[in-house]
Amino acid sequence: TLDTPVQVRPQAVALNNAADAPPRIAVALTTAALPEEAPTQLLAEPAAPPPAVVETSAAPAAKRSRNPCLDLPTAHQRLVCGYPSLAIEDRRLKAALERAKAGSRDPYAIDSSQAAWLSASANIQDRLELADRYAQRIADLEAQAR
């Protein structure tokens, strides 16, 4: 009936209906106090996203879908980029190299031996072989750091 008051409770409403579009956040930067209606104005429906760009050739689409690891210059770098376990070993090697240089009387000798190791490892295409080389080099650097 119309005589009984109906209490309306606010409900959360999704502002963005597109499943693949990132959420948008509105921010107001002011020095004056905002009026009471400002929060509802800020949470209004965002403007429609810009129209999709139509590509004129298939080359940009193919380049965008490629694996960025394939563009690296050496097989060693491509393997480290493509395998997280090798990326972890690479970070461990860098840390061991810094410790060895910090504790060495001749850090230039360590740099030259590291350059030789990198040169010898540049064309290795087997992941397990490269992992073994990393383990050996880290052990050598840890021994030099002591």
Residue 13 neighbours by CB under 8 Å, 6+ apart: none
Q: How far is CA 88 from CA 40, 93, 95, in A?
A: 48, 9, 11
What pLDDT does residue 136 have? 94
Q: Tell me the pLDDT tens digit for each residue of 23-42.
A: 666 655 655 554 555 444 44
pLDDT above 70 as % of the chain: 55
Distance CA 135, CA 131 (A): 6
- Mean pLDDT rounded to a whole number for the chain: 75
State how many domains the chain has: 1
Residue 84's domain spans which residues?
Answer: 73-145
Q: Is residue 24 part of a domain?
A: no
- What dihedral angle (degrees, nearest 10) is formed by the CA atoms of 123, 125, 131, 132? -70
pLDDT grade, residue 129 (50/70/90)?
very high
Check if the beta carbon of residue 129 is closer than 8 Å to that of residue 78: no
Check if the beta carbon of residue 140 is closer than 8 Å to that of residue 93: no
Q: Tell me the pLDDT tens digit for each residue of 74-97.
A: 898 889 998 999 999 999 999 999
Q: Is residue 91 part of a domain?
A: yes
**Where do the DSSP E strands lie in the chain?**
none
Q: Is residue 4 part of a domain?
A: no
Check if the beta carbon of residue 28 is closer than 8 Å to that of residue 34: yes
What pLDDT does residue 22 have? 60
Q: Is residue 102 part of a domain?
A: yes
pLDDT grade, residue 20 (50/70/90)?
low
Tell me which of 71 and 33 has the higher pLDDT. Answer: 71
Check if the beta carbon of residue 28 is closer than 8 Å to that of residue 38: yes
The backbone torsions φ and ψ at residue 134, rounded to the nearest 5 degrees and listed phi first, read: -60, -45
What pLDDT does residue 94 have? 93
Residue 111 neighbours by CB under 8 Å, 6+ apart: 101
Q: Is residue 66 part of a domain?
A: no
Q: Is residue 49 part of a domain?
A: no
What pLDDT does residue 60 have? 55
Prediction pTM value = 0.54
